Amino acid sequence: MKYLSEINTEGFTIIENVYSDDEIEKIISLIENTTEKKTENTTFRKSQDLFAIRQFHKEIPETLAFIFNKNLKNIIENTFGKGYFITKSIYFDKPEKSNWFVAYHQDLTISVDKKTEIENFENWTVKQNQFAVQPPAAILEKNFTIRIHMDKTTKENGALKVINNSHSKGIFRVENLEIENETICEVEKGGIMIMKPLLFHASNKTTNNERRRVIHIEFSNQQLPDGLDWSEKDSIRN
């Protein structure tokens, strides 16, 4: 429960030294070996500004043994409790000269196994043959995201900017966002950031010619209604 108070109050927390340099290098090696073989995969997105792998834990499951080391498993269990599982994962590689930036937004969609008419599930989309939908806020409010930093991340190479405590206001339009207390979330290599999906967050362009690689994993412990299920659901590795 050490970090839960800050997560509930601010919407996020940063924890350093979760991974050793050796663990990070093993994860990077597995990613690089796989990307060399799967360049045409539909879940891979590559441009001069960004390389991303959607459904990351399914595309490169070998990484999970290193991702869920003793430190991370203890952090999850001691902060949130037992019974959580993966619901979505994305690998982001922001190159050294990237002009890619992301404006302030909330993470409002979840990945599900089919499209069906359910009350308060709206804004359906399909990406890489996978359905996504915006569920009721009550579902999003109970979930959390962990961002694993494979490189030192600073304001110069795209560290997340967040609006502190913006997750507590529910779902609302970015036009109504009041920037009262903004934090740039700089994280050392091997550190993590835990955040709530409804926390408004953004990232700027890279200005220091330094790479930024992050593994983004979303978690839940909830069963969806009316036979709907999480399409990327996977267990936390023991």
pLDDT of residue 134: 97
The DSSP letter of residue 230 is: B
User: 3-class secondary structure for 21-37?
Assistant: HHHHHHHHHHHHHHHHH
Which residues in the chain land under pLDDT 70?
A: 1, 37-50, 96-99
Query: pLDDT tens digits, residue range 139-179?
Result: 999 999 999 999 999 999 889 999 999 999 899 888 888 88
CB atoms near residue 138 (< 10 Å): 10
Pairing of strands 212-220, 182-184: unpaired
pLDDT of residue 39: 56
Q: Are 145 and 218 in contact (CB under 8 A)?
A: yes
Class of domain 4-235 (CATH, top level): mainly beta
pLDDT of residue 38: 60
Q: Are 201 and 162 in contact (CB under 8 A)?
A: yes
What DSSP line would sit under 153-195, residue for residue? B-GGGTPEEEETTGGGG-S--GGG---SSEEE--B-TT-EEEE
pLDDT of residue 31: 93
Instruction: Write down the residue that tokens 């996978």 correspond to.
Output: 130
Q: If DSSP codes are grouped into helix, strand and coil, which group holds residue 222?
A: coil
The domain spans of the chain are: 4-235
CB within 8 A of 178, min separation 6: which ones? none
pTM (2 d.p.)? 0.93
pLDDT of residue 47: 57
